[in-house]
Chains A and B, each alone.
Chain A
């Protein structure tokens, strides 16, 4: 049983010399989280946007399980908070737009913000928050609709290490508690290995370079210092280097031509 099935997906932007995503296929099991990993410009964000329907594919297909398709949420690379709305109002925005704003939802939003360490900032405007706090508000806004799948575009990149680790654990917690499935883009191999049940490694040509399951008995911060974890990191570091080398060769041959 798969929640997301991608078949021979391709995406080419108008006037681009090559496809950003090319002939990509994978199927994500219902209970698995997915990390999209790869060098800059390899199409990770484009793939995420295609999954959310923010971009139209040039070819191939994306199938989302019907019971999940309407319960998807998205966190952009930047917080995108509405500047004239307070922290709490920003979180409640999706509910207002879908006519689900009620006192219970408001309490849920407050709980969520408290859980994300923003209980003291409910009435603050975005400009009064740090970048990391704004990102947490964006995360709360994505979670308030109680999604079954959440798509996150480098959600923790702007956060300090301590907050990043806390939110990584929160995501794992929500996955268990709410049966929340997440697909996220990251540049960090360690983050991909820590959070992803599956990792899709993309290369510069928009193809899947590697697709595999990563399993650990238990995911907690202490895992990061185990030999088992580091062995997986080592594998991905080598795969990354191979991608970079082949990209260098490809670029130089294109320049010579």
Chain B
């Protein structure tokens, strides 16, 4: 009975702490929306330049089938791009880690490639992959690869030397060392890379869609040409929503994979 009361008390405290942390952001958001609504309602800004939040909501509901299809298409491209970045980034990091000479030969070019703006490569991608999703996926993949690669490599290199020495006692094979020590050690770093890459993959996909068509990028671009600022806002909000959902999923995954570790502290 007493234990149950203590548990309840702990849950209440936890809920209260959570609320204390989240409430300021929600209040700020509501305040911002209220000011925005008032500014447009009082016609201080023309609604064809800045539609009110309620108008954007109405447009989103009215055009929901179109927006939902575009959002789903963009989400698929992001999923493909980010998924391949995760596979490719981790595989390349393992290769660079295992064979230092490959790392010295290839990594500088990866860094160089990373500095090239995606918008300047996108036309090339269209030439190579054609219009539509393949180009969009490639665009999302290219921009989201490097953070995962760099973070994974750092994680592999930062394996605790004390644990390495412990493993050395039992003479593990290189594969055992990688699977049982180095990859698990690198997981927090990989997840950080994925979090950074998630945002970039959304940008990559939207930019790809501007050029190659389809998805939210195309919807936003078409709305721009028709002067439908409300629809542009709807598209922007949906793409932000996609990024948020992605970050939320990664956070859940982090909690699952990092359970038991002493440094797990979510700030979301």
Contacts and interface: CB of A to CB of B under 8 A. Distances in A.
Contacts of A86: 260
A54 B165 contact: yes
Contact of B168 (A54, A82, A128): A54
A84 B260 contact: yes
Contacts of B163: 80, 82
B129 interface: no
Interface residues of B, number: 20
A125 B170 contact: no
Interface residue range, chain A: 20 to 34
Contacts of B187: 84
Contacts of A125: 259-261
Given A97-B180, A125-B260, A127-B262, A80 B162 contact: yes
B116 to A, nearest CB: 37
A106 B237 CA distance: 53
A50 to B, nearest CB: 14
Given A96-B180, A97-B172, A97-B180, A80 B166 contact: yes
A76 B166 contact: yes
A96 to B, nearest CB: 7
Q: How would you classify the secondary structure of chain B's contact residues: helix, strand, loop or mixed?
A: helix
Contacts of B132: none
Nearest to A86: B260
A135 to B, nearest CB: 14
A84 B170 contact: no
A29 interface: no
A14 to B, nearest CB: 17
B260 A83 contact: yes
Given A54-B168, A74-B169, A97 B176 contact: yes
Contacts of B165: 54, 76, 80
A132 interface: no
A3 B167 CA distance: 25
A159 interface: no
B83 interface: no
B88 interface: no
Interface of B: 162-163, 165-172, 176, 180-181, 184, 187, 258-262
30 contacts: A54-B165, A54-B169, A74-B169, A76-B162, A76-B166, A80-B162, A80-B163, A82-B163, A82-B184, A83-B262, A84-B184, A84-B260, A84-B261, A85-B260, A86-B260, A93-B180, A96-B180, A97-B167, A97-B170, A97-B171, A97-B176, A97-B180, A98-B170, A98-B171, A125-B259, A125-B260, A125-B261, A127-B260, A127-B261, A128-B260
Given A97-B170, A128-B260, 7 more contacts: A73-B169, A76-B166, A80-B162, A82-B163, A82-B181, A84-B187, A127-B261
